[in-house]
Chains A and B, each alone.
Chain A
Amino acid sequence: MTRYAMVIDTKSCVGCGACVVACKTENKVPAGLNRDWLVELTRGTFPNLTTEYRSERCNHCSNPTCLWACPTGATYRWNGSNIILVEPSKCTGCKACIAACPYDARMIMRPEGYVDKCTFCHHRVDKGMDPACVSTCPTGCMYFGDLDDPKSKVSELLATRRYKAPLEETGNKPNVFYLY
């Protein structure tokens, strides 16, 4: 199984939101809905504060609880990889996957009603391109690649830098990593 991963360098991210706009444009995400979003996290007590920006989205987990929860098979793995997609024609809108996702990464498309989420821009990945958010990032803080390839940039970064993946305690084995 190809294990696609996204690596985001929080040291370089400035929280400009270009990734959010690029995703909306590329995937024609309707107004009011977003497949990715930006988190600004301020820690500490004034005046000793640190700020961290994180571009967040579906983590395309290796143990995807959303996939296990789906009762109709609408949620599936793309081409045997870890990229998790939703087939709208099979989705009943039961929302089991939304409840099962610890990252709150899924949403109901309105007015159609089916569940939608980040696809890692699989249509671009299929052509050997990076996801739109990664291509657009003006500070170049986002990386995309195959984690099973030890020579890929994402593998090199995770081998040499300190990193965290969100909510690993859930056991979902997320594939979006943040460098520190």
Chain B
Amino acid sequence: MISGPGGLLGLPPGVPSPIWDVAWWRELLLLAALAAAWCEGRARRGVALAFAVMFAVLAVGFWVVALARPYGVLVDAATTRWAADLSVTAWSGGSDRFLAGEPATSSPWTLLARHQRLGLVWLLPTLLPLGILPAASLVIAGLWGRREARLAAILWIGVSTGPLDALRGAGFVPLLWSRPLASLGWVGTAAAVFVVARLRVPVRVSAALGAIVVVTWTLLGRRGPALGPADTLWALTLDGHVWFVLGAVGLWRRRDPAAVAMVAGGALLACVRAAGGPGDVWAGAAFCRLGLVLAAAQETEAIVPGLMSRLSERRRRAVARLKMVPERLPQAALVALVLGGGFLAWWDPVRTDPIARASVEPVSDALVESMLWLRAHTPPEAVILADGDSAAAIPVLAGRRVLRAPALLTAPDDERRLRLERGVLAGRPSPALVQRYGLRYVFIAPGQFQAAGIVDPRDLDRLDGLRLAYENAKGVRVYEILPGRNAPASGWSRDRIK
């Protein structure tokens, strides 16, 4: 019904384990980083880039596969809303959202949900980070059009997110899971900037055009994490530490249009957002960092020959014996440091991200069992009254709409829905409201509806208008609202309840 990305590979939940497997995985990452550095030192930058991409896939992939459910589903309200809408679209059809009577708006996701396997669609945002880093680095390597493009692509994998960025709440990689479409848009924008920067126009013009491309993100309105002005200032400057300094020197001396556009546009995007206007601090800071990395890569390549020119012949021969090029040694060391000792090598979302930590836990079997029953034994148009966590789980896992789900969404007519809920639980439902919302079932687990005076789910046995349709060993019960004067007008028959 619902599984993590590991399920696609046939892995059971808990494999790989963030406790037992992470140590050797980090050692494997170091090997990939050292391989990239070794190839860089041997002046085989293409192979080095391939190893760096492999490093990125492995570093992110471990945590993707470690999740036992799609990131944030039944954990984070926004993600659960999204998953709930997809489920009811796929399994119940109709034009409403997961809240009965709330009209849905079409999106690429609902389109996918209608035509693809839902489990896969759910997993797409979770899987997407696997491709974002490699795609972005390949865009840098392929579209920048500079001699240093591949080096910049490798470095960007290592420094796109630093520990300080992650702590600030604007880290590029940690937010990829929660911002799938934005991350695709980010890669597309970066590609567009590179293309614009190569136009045969004066450098200032191409830089300005590139910055305008970046700033078009403001058209999307206020997006991303809400950082204050001070946090934004430090995110754009000191959090980048070495890259800020080296990048600033590179910008000053090389004035590459793509780098200038990224830094200027990104900083503007972030600052406008921090000042309360439209924009996106996450995207802005990431563009800014990319611009600094581009400039830093140029500056590094320019400085290194001067540094290495005084290397003694004896040391040159020693380096040559290792089949390495002396002029590439500083870059190789840099690659080893930024990959092997960078944020990705030590990233631990299970310890630093509460949503990831909760997403490592599989959905309980008891919940899945009751949701499977609902999906198999209730008509697609049935609306269910549920409480607490169940109100979120029913649309997501059973694909049925619910009357209320205050933890996810509050409908404009919530007062009326609440009135119906109280009426049903008191045994005096308003037939008109039952019919209006198509309410057919009550789902109750132990401890739920206590505010309505329900102490035990079996309390509902006393109500004349309800009939027990399902119960399991955990005390979960589903009651059918008996037809009669409360029954909805169309499309429903008791025969469907087995």
Q: Do A and B come from one complex?
A: no
Chain A contacts to B: CB under 8 angstroms: none
Chain B contacts to A: CB under 8 angstroms: none
